[in-house]
Structure 1
């Protein structure tokens, strides 16, 4: 093939007379220890089909004269020669449904995808909720058969979803030492309690749909999250005590970043309907606080955070005169 390419002839017109030229095209091999991708494509007009192919080659494929040294070496599966760390890194850029399908390639690939430390599951990557649910069930079932740790989970599903599949997924992730959880909670579901008593979570983002009329996505009155440093709540409901007060963050002894966006209170039945409620943000490690509450009757906030460095309310730096519903305390 190399000889055929080198000997290709191109005809050009030069001042009305045809002149024969020979152009030499050679593979420019990469530096040692590097791999180069050679790709090409073609279009067959009669059947309107397009095809493409890619070939990975290292620096040993061709000799210095450009001759093919080993046909066997050119045809070997160089993707499978890559170490697991690189293959897993490549998988991290793929959609989950394509990642799972790699398990059918060979025995080596059968369980490789399960070693992914970060999972991103979005309903937008699937044609319908049924296929999305089946994929998640298969993932949980397969990973449960071995000891596969999980570092982060990003789940996105605003619309209603199957309770068991969602609960099994979150419970499995927490049991595998999950560190980062970003979840858009389906409108018909709430989060299992294991999320709020995890000793491994350092980052927790909870977002709830505005169509969650039954207010199922709730934050309990007390959190047991000793490793948590970053907490973001978006449209989440916060449970209060019999006085209509909530103080969920004081037990988070490592919390540094807290964002509260359009959150509401859930009162127990003994609390009168007209009680507005107060959210106490009391945390000695908190350094960054963001509150967004643009309702006509915003909630009341009482803040004690002696190490607070940055404080924004409705996208503006906090000024007591502008936000009378926010009270800063200087002693607990």
Structure 2
């Protein structure tokens, strides 16, 4: 309801609104909505965005029938940027979709070309819709809109992110009861994404190459002889575990745990992942949180179980085309 109310504050009364119930997953819902569309320009909305004053004038200024437009997003109730569009990048030889400006404080931004936009407020021009009347189901409730944008760019259409921020709660695709469509597990998503890249992303789309490095302090921790439990089995933990200077598993000093039940028992770099509620934290000297930007949330989750173990976290610093991972000690806040 809050999305609809914020939309109606500026939307002209002569524009039709079609509300559809969620189908089994996002792409199926989008295709059902498109099947009811009678032609012309289209604005697709999720139920987890809040429109802000001036959004409609911004959209009208840039809308064309041969373009896809998206809005930059802020995290709810904050001035922190969630994305200013997404860009295809090469990170250590793997193609990723990188959210621009994520984690930075809100500032003036420009309209720019990008490779994908947040699908919860996505304008599709009439000519684009005629050329691409369906979303690929291979997006698996995650990347359907991104695939749509890749296909549109292949056909010569433009894709841009605007300069007016909306708020995005980011929960519409994570409420699906089927974990195949809603899990945030890196281990699940990397396989889905890899297939999408192979099928839909030409190498010519990737314009930027990024290198990742770990700090001396982090390397020293890995060689310190202490027993370390790594919380989070995402891309950061995967990178640290692969780093040739961080030999994590050979001495049995390193364990992995997750807050996602569906990851429990899965093999990750030679270790079975533990679910955090079943882990014996007393067996470890240090706990290392590798989920970027969520260290306080995870600290609150773990602090009563951890006992005397020190809790550290990974801090990511972006220096041009290098992502630098450093070690920080958690401070309650």
So what's the TM-score if we normalise by structure 2? 0.27
Of structures 1 and 2, the one with the larger relative CO (CA 8 A, separation 6+) is 2
Question: Which one has a larger percent strand, Structure 1 or Structure 2?
Answer: 1
Question: Which one has a larger percent helix, Structure 1 or Structure 2?
Answer: 2
So what's the TM-score if we normalise by structure 1? 0.27
